[in-house]
Amino acid sequence: MENIHPLAEQYSSKTRVRVCGLLVQDDKLLLARHKAAFGEGNFWMPPGGGLDFSEKVKDCLKREFHEETGLDVEVGRFLYLNEFLRPPLHAIELFFEVRLMNGTLALGTDPEHEPHEQLLEEVRFLGIREIFKIKRDELHPILHALVNLDDLFIPRQVFLD
């Protein structure tokens, strides 16, 4: 097991259900840059977060999207399930297409962390060429095999062998 960033420790050694949204505007995908959970560097991923007990999946996505980006979204079709496993982190992730309804893009916060101790560092729309320039280990695995942004909207299931 790798050493984990102290701020990510609360997410470790348990399986979490995460709900994430894919928002594309002007041929750019909205991504959130977090402090890397392991070592130095960053980790880019679509906005989203953990499902709370008794919370509906779509409500979770709307809440997490707003917390991280300041944007209100409408949840569209379910796209795929991804299993993220990098011990001690393990998550079952549900990805949905989302549409912008209201709001202005702004860096939000993770309410489970103090304002001066945030993992979330930036939210930004990135084009495919910008995504290609990011180091592979700093990208969420769903972004590794992209040829173009349309690839994100092909329904699939990704389980680890």
**Residue range of the domain that includes 140:** 6-152
pLDDT value, residue 160: 58
| Nearest C-alpha neighbor of 23 from the set 114, 132, 123 | 123
Q: Are 135 and 41 in contact (CB under 8 A)?
A: yes
128-155 pLDDT, tens digit each: 999 999 999 999 999 998 889 998 888 7
* Number of structural domains found in the chain: 1
Residue 154, classed as helix, strand or coil, is: coil
38-64 tens-digit pLDDT: 777 899 999 999 999 999 999 999 999
Amino acid at 2: E
Question: Between 87 and 5, where is the model more confident?
Answer: 87
Residue 112 has pLDDT above 90, yes or no: no
DSSP for residue 139: B
d(CA 144, CA 6): 26
The arithmetic mean of pLDDT across residues 17-24, rounded, is 98
Alpha-helical segments (H) within the chain: 57-69, 128-132
What three-state secondary structure class fits 50?
strand
Residue 157 resides in a domain:
no
Please give the model's pTM, rounded to 2 decimal places.
Answer: 0.90
Residue 158 resides in a domain? no
**pLDDT digits 0-9 by tens, 63-102:** 999 999 999 999 999 999 999 888 888 999 999 999 999 9
Instruction: Report if residue 26 sits inside a domain.
Output: yes
d(CA 123, CA 30): 7
Q: What is the CATH number of the domain that holds 25?
A: 3.90.79.10
User: Does some domain include residue 1?
Assistant: no
Residue 159 lies in a domain: no
Over residues 25-34, mean pLDDT? 97
**pLDDT at residue number 157:** 64
